[in-house]
Amino acid sequence: MWRNGRNAGEYRECIIERAPENRWLDEAEEVRRLHDPAVQEQISPPLSEKEQKKDSRRYRQLVSASHRKRRVEKIQIGIGTVVCAFFAILFLMPIILTITNSFMSSSEISADYGAVFQTTSTGGKVYIAKTVTLKFIPDIVSFSQYFTVLLKSPQYLLKFWNSVIYVVPIVGFQLFVAALASYGFARYRGKVKDIIFFIYVIVMLMPYQVTLVPNFLVSSWLGILNTRWAIWLPGIFSPFAVFLLTKFIRRIPASVIEASEIDGAGEWQIFSQICMPLCKGGIISIAILIFIDYWNMVEQPLILLTDDQLHPLSVFLSKINAGEISLAFAVAVIYMVPPLLVFLYGEEYLVEGITYQGGIKG
């Protein structure tokens, strides 16, 4: 019921009576009005034949332009797909070649690639007179290389575990040191801290070859040359993780930390329960990058370690000679497994860490 006892129909009639322009409220009247020829001519006056042809021509042009645009987009997508597929295959070829050749017999590998590693009596390289054949499918599938690497020759497994022993502590302790240092750099600003952070950035930008001699001199002064500590200490205190993690913590909104301080949270609670969980993606991303970097290190062991038994597997792969070609492929495949597993496990966190902008999930 409407006001003053009127029902809906009476109220509508009253409105139309007082304001004829509101006649559209009467549905029946509106239908009759729309079917009136005079009204239809006012709404959509008939077009002349010339105008109809013009509109038809314009419509065909719009449809043709739309089809042309779609064809161009499809061609561009097709060309982009072909180019990306070409480069993807190009980049994957060495990996595929390594995996397939690891199942070849020693005689087949020597026949295919022996000329590349031939040396003269004085140790010089021999000119390759014939074309080297790259084979992706072995003539006879053989697991003898893996059997030799994993069971017959423990030195390869020893070097593999040397790599693990070097890399795992470096990743863990570098993240621990970087978490504490980056929290201090991000939370407290001052001239001294800015100068120290600037020094961190300069040291990080220097190639490792520049700092290799100072590392050697410091290791010699500390008496840790030819020990695992000569590899561990420079890696643990590397500025790379400190720089990246500081940038991640600085992206955390100040309002979040201020709210936690109002709630009575201390510095350790802010660090452990707010900053570190929000930087989880960044921490895992940094861990992946550190792992891959130190898993492939070659210069450090060669300069700081004189004992071959302490060398990691990466050094062995850089010293392949003619007598170990068949084993090199199998060792390379085993060497690729840990970084590949780490990357596959942390791929989501790596993307999240790169795209993280400091927000919090609600």
State the average pLDDT for the chain: 79
Look up the CATH architecture of domain 146-355.
Answer: Orthogonal Bundle (1.10)
294 contacts: CB under 8 Å, gap ≥ 6 = 166, 167, 170, 171, 235
| Banded model confidence at residue 208, pLDDT cuts 50, 70, 90 | confident
| Banded model confidence at residue 361, pLDDT cuts 50, 70, 90 | very low
Mean pLDDT over 158-177 rounds to 93
Residue 1 has pLDDT above 60, yes or no: no
Q: What is the largest CA-CA distance in the chain?
A: 118
User: Using one digit for the tens of pLDDT, what is the confidence trace for 187-197?
Assistant: 887 888 888 88
Residue 23 corresponds to which amino acid? R
| Banded model confidence at residue 358, pLDDT cuts 50, 70, 90 | very low
- At residue 85, the pLDDT reads 93
User: Using one digit for the tens of pLDDT, what is the confidence trace for 280-311?
Assistant: 888 988 999 899 999 999 888 988 998 888 88
| Banded model confidence at residue 43, pLDDT cuts 50, 70, 90 | low
User: Using one digit for the tens of pLDDT, what is the confidence trace for 210-247?
Assistant: 888 888 999 999 999 989 999 999 999 988 899 889 98
| Banded model confidence at residue 121, pLDDT cuts 50, 70, 90 | low
- At residue 232, the pLDDT reads 93
pTM of the model: 0.71
- At residue 357, the pLDDT reads 47
How far is the first Cα of the chain from the last one, in angstroms, to the nearest whole number?
45
